[in-house]
Structure 1
């Protein structure tokens, strides 16, 4: 294996030993040149948790932290953890309770996640709103939950990754500011280049070389779901290092761009140091 010249971070990846490759996916990531990941919680139901209170997300968070520990011990890949509540929870929970009750449980889960951040067990939160069509009521409740997440992030001086509809989501700038949160700390997961939020961009995005020429600040992600029923979705665990090295080898980006993507941007977004 050739010596790695620079660190490579996958800013949004899931690892699921129950339903997917588990640690083997991270070994693939490492062999391709990956060095760091942001491990993000999966929806509660994928881990067999069906919450009736916010505290029920503890099982999801503890399992995520255990996976992170195993990744670091077994592979040496540095793992940062983002804990929170997937925005689609409101749809699933509303099948067995009112939407208002579902939103309360989700807010409670975020409050619990913020406690983990306060204890230094996670670097940030995860929230958002449905990326699919929902009623005005569900959208309004989802935005209430998201605003609660922004307030918690402001209180803990941490970042929050958001999962939301395709597009700029520029209204979140004002939402964050009203909650006392620096909008730089709002990272749009699966971001489109037109977002004014901090952007985590899928590694196969064709505009990445042009964004680098513009000296844009962003990170890269795979959004790998690690589910055997959907192999390689969204893109595989090797994708971020492979695309990074391919762009570099083909002259589409420079080493300066690589450092901006994988070192400077994570430092700006999360306050974390990425080194090898």
Structure 2
């Protein structure tokens, strides 16, 4: 088997051995040419957990870390990203007050930050609902998002944001106030107009233009790994396949691939990506 010439990194992927195909997805990623993943925490309900206190998220975080270790044993380097999905606020307010839900989410982000400090994770995950909510929920969600930026700034790590489609330009001021470098605030499922660091879905039609411009960006599948939603959002092979397709068609050079899949994520997340 020929030696791989360059790394291929998925910036946002989920693995779920309980509701999906688990490590089999990682093997598919590797067989397609994938080498590194940023393994993102799934929502608490994916594990049948109904959190009432921040400590309840420890199970979610620990499962993500354990999965990352399993990925590494399969030859794929996995970097855990821990946090609280912004849609948790909607679930939580079905059984507690909005103030309690906000406090719980911020507390859980503090717990995630502890894992970053001890080296078990590389970044935090936060955001705000990508669907319509009332003003009170929106404001509470922004306070949670801001808390994640404060934690990330204090830890010296990146933060991935799951938020509404669009540029999220208001987050720039929030990040600056929190002392968080904009280049380390990652807009998951990004659009080209974002001032944050864009993580583009692998089939985004703006990728070729961004590569030509030499823009700093990363690529993701946002693979959900759920049997009842196979291939959602894209399959686990998508980042390697699209990367190689862009390369074979001349849209990417080998230098582009090293920049997108190694140099840029190294700068954003403070990790080492090598073959």
What TM-score results when the alignment is normalised by the length of structure 1? 0.98
Alignment of 1:29-68 (within 5 A): 29-68=29-68
Deviation at 1:184, TM superposition (A): 1.2
Aligned counterpart, 1:20: 20
CA displacement 1:179-212 (0-9 Å, x = unmatched): 1111111000001111010111100001211111
Relative to structure 2, which stretch is displaced further, 179-188 or 231-240?
Answer: 179-188
Aligned counterpart, 2:116: 117
> Counterparts of 2:267 and 2:194 in 1: how far apart (Å)?
17
> Counterparts of 1:266 and 1:195 in 2: how far apart (Å)?
17
> Counterparts of 1:267 and 1:14 in 2: how far apart (Å)?
20
> Counterparts of 1:66 and 1:252 in 2: how far apart (Å)?
37
Matched residue SS, 1:160: strand
Deviation at 1:243, TM superposition (A): 0.2
> Counterparts of 2:191 and 2:256 in 1: how far apart (Å)?
18
> Counterparts of 2:69 and 2:253 in 1: how far apart (Å)?
33
Output the aligned Cα RMSD.
0.7
Deviation at 1:134, TM superposition (A): 0.5
Shift >6 Å, 4+ stretches: none
> Counterparts of 1:70 and 1:254 in 2: how far apart (Å)?
32
CA displacement 1:90-148 (0-9 Å, x = unmatched): 00101111111111110010000000000000001000000000000000000000111
Structure 2: segments with no counterpart, 5+ residues: none
CA displacement 1:211-251 (0-9 Å, x = unmatched): 11111110000000000010000000000000000000011
Deviation at 1:76, TM superposition (A): 1.1
> Counterparts of 1:215 and 1:121 in 2: how far apart (Å)?
32
> Counterparts of 2:193 and 2:256 in 1: how far apart (Å)?
19
> Counterparts of 2:126 and 2:11 in 1: how far apart (Å)?
15
> Counterparts of 2:94 and 2:218 in 1: how far apart (Å)?
36
CA displacement 1:139-168 (0-9 Å, x = unmatched): 000000011100000110000000000000
Deviation at 1:2, TM superposition (A): 3.6
> Counterparts of 2:30 and 2:141 in 1: how far apart (Å)?
36
Deviation at 1:72, TM superposition (A): 1.0
What TM-score results when the alignment is normalised by the length of structure 2? 0.99
> Counterparts of 1:186 and 1:46 in 2: how far apart (Å)?
25
Deviation at 1:3, TM superposition (A): 2.5
Structure 1: segments with no counterpart, 5+ residues: none
Relative to structure 2, which stretch is displaced further, 200-209 or 28-37?
Answer: 200-209
Work out whether 1:153 is the aligned partner of 2:164.
no
Matched residue SS, 2:198: strand
Q: How many residues align?
A: 275
> Counterparts of 2:206 and 2:197 in 1: how far apart (Å)?
16
Aligned counterpart, 1:69: 69
Aligned counterpart, 1:135: 134
> Counterparts of 2:3 and 2:28 in 1: how far apart (Å)?
16
Matched residue SS, 1:33: coil
Aligned counterpart, 1:102: 101
